[in-house]
Amino acid sequence: MKIVDVRTTLLTGPSTHDPFLREARKLRSAAFVEVITTDGLIGVGETYAGYACPEVIPSIVDFFRPILVGQTVDDIPALWRRMYRCGNSWCRVGLGTAVLSGIEAALWDLKGKRAGLPVHALLGGAKHDRLPCYATGGPANYPKENLGRKIDHYFSLGFRGIKVAVGSFARDGGWYTPESEAEAVDFEADKLRFMRERAGKDAWIMLDAHMDNKEGAIWSLETCVAVARALEPFDLFFFEELRPYTDPWGYAELCRRTSIPIAGGEFLTATYEWRVFSEQDCFDIGQPDASFTGGLGEFLAVAGMLGARGRQVATHAWGAGASLMQNVHAGFAAANTCMLEVPPDYGPLHSELIDGGLILRDGFILPPERPGLGIRLTDDIRRRFPFRPGSGEFISVPGKILNDDLLP
């Protein structure tokens, strides 16, 4: 079985079926890589970069295509090293490495289908019988009655954990982020008190500051410390992305100054970049994304690097269905995985690709059993969700404003 072609499929579909997330964003884009072989088997992977800048993905995949055509999937790490080396001048970190994530995943999917085994079995086997997961809920929908209904909705779907962002989002008022230290401390403590009472003492609750991916004010380190300390009584599972990724020193300082586990890393790529953060103990819980960090192999290398320093990993998974499954397989293959991120009540670019292959039971995900990644990308899916240029996610700035209603 040899590779005869590598192609990219861009799609745009509903962001989610979740009524609370849909208040903030109606659409999502996705970029899938397909590796086609002489015997008709097709491996499918996804790069999370397709959620942000889908238009640029096909040209990068085409750059790497000649390295794969004519090859087999017998030694996927060797193929990855060839591609990484070929793009050495521009993809040691960043977008090139993120696109390699989708290509590498397609190779693993292909190899798993050929062997009749789930990908985690090819990566050394599942290290867990089950893994806890949480509903990644995006904004804290306000007023509080809405936030309460959001918690109830997710728990009715079988989740026992929830993550929301700092600040709030109201349908009529838009985004709000407290800026001063006193304002932030009061607002977030009041919110977490409400969430803990509504969700119960045994629920897993997480908070995401989005300080590397937000519009508006970025908290100072002292504000981050003050907010974290104010939230210590509410037993957070972790507090995510409190600093920009240009500030590993601030992350390390924050870990030393609060008892709440500090999480981050979703936008870091390759072990080269992760090493800077790992060696400074920037995260109590690292969040590599197997569809962005560089692939499932790089995910496991990052997990091993963090594990050697007594740290854990919690998957990041905000791409479409293939991205989610890549992270589930990688999470089960890493011994120090403590939590999986799962989009709740997800839309067709999740559900139709996964097609029932992800099992959530009593707040836990079970190891996938289907060969490969357990996903399918059909002609019908391609036809019903054609790509809409400009549907990628980005931070609005003067001159470039994200607005689903203005898309062609």
In a domain, residue 265? The reply is: yes
Task: Burial-class residue 403 by CB neighbours within 10 Å (0-12, 13-18, 19+).
Answer: exposed
| Whole-number pLDDT of residue 217 | 74
In a domain, residue 371? The reply is: no
| CATH code: domain of residue 104 | 3.30.390.10
In a domain, residue 370? The reply is: no
Cβ pair 162, 352 in contact under 8 A: no
Q: Which parts of the chain sit beneath pLDDT 50?
A: none
Looking at the structure, tell me whether residues 341 and 299 fall in a common domain. Answer: yes
User: Which alpha helices (H) appear in 31-131, and where do they start and end?
Assistant: 49-52, 57-68, 76-86, 95-115, 119-122
Looking at the structure, tell me whether residues 179 and 301 fall in a common domain. Answer: yes
Cβ pair 102, 32 in contact under 8 A: yes
| Whole-number pLDDT of residue 405 | 85
| Whole-number pLDDT of residue 343 | 96
| Whole-number pLDDT of residue 173 | 83
Looking at the structure, tell me whether residues 209 and 84 fall in a common domain. Answer: no
Looking at the structure, tell me whether residues 179 and 324 fall in a common domain. Answer: yes
**Model pLDDT for residues 188-214, shown as the tens digit of each residue:** 999 999 999 999 999 999 999 999 776
Instruction: Tell me whether the omega of the peptide bond preceding residue 58 falls within 30 degrees of 0, making it cis.
Output: no
Q: Which of 131, 130, 177, 171 is nearest to 150 (CA)?
A: 171
Q: Is the whole-model pTM more than 0.85?
A: yes
Looking at the structure, tell me whether residues 224 and 304 fall in a common domain. Answer: yes
DSSP 346-359: --HHHHHHHTT---
**Model pLDDT for residues 266-315, shown as the tens digit of each residue:** 999 999 999 999 999 999 999 999 999 999 999 999 999 999 999 999 99
Strands (E), 238-354: 238-240, 262-264, 285-286, 312-314, 337-342
Tokens encoding 66: 């000649």
| Whole-number pLDDT of residue 214 | 62
Looking at the structure, tell me whether residues 94 and 153 fall in a common domain. Answer: no
Please tell me the total count of domains within the chain.
Answer: 2
Cβ pair 339, 309 in contact under 8 A: no
Among positive and negative, which fits the CA dihedral 75, 76, 80, 86? positive
Give the Cα separation of 17 and 8 in Å (integer): 26
- Alpha carbons within 13 angstroms on the beta-carbon side of residue 77 total 7
| Whole-number pLDDT of residue 395 | 86
Looking at the structure, tell me whether residues 317 and 382 fall in a common domain. Answer: no
Domain that holds residue 7: 3-117+377-406
Looking at the structure, tell me whether residues 108 and 146 fall in a common domain. Answer: no
Give the DSSP H or E segment for 303: helix 296-307
Looking at the structure, tell me whether residues 129 and 248 fall in a common domain. Answer: yes
Looking at the structure, tell me whether residues 354 and 382 fall in a common domain. Answer: no
Looking at the structure, tell me whether residues 71 and 134 fall in a common domain. Answer: no
* 336 to 1, 203, 306: CA distances (angstroms): 35, 21, 9
In a domain, residue 372? The reply is: no
| CATH code: domain of residue 222 | 3.20.20.120
Q: Which of 339, 325, 323 is nearest to 286 (CA)?
A: 339
Looking at the structure, tell me whether residues 252 and 360 fall in a common domain. Answer: yes
> How would you list the strands of the sheet with 3-14, edge to edge?
3-14, 27-37, 42-47
In a domain, residue 38? The reply is: yes
Give the DSSP H or E segment for 176: strand 174-176
* 387 to 56, 154, 376: CA distances (angstroms): 13, 29, 18
In this structure, what are the phi and psi dihedrals at residue 344, rounded to the nearest 5 degrees?
Answer: -85, 150
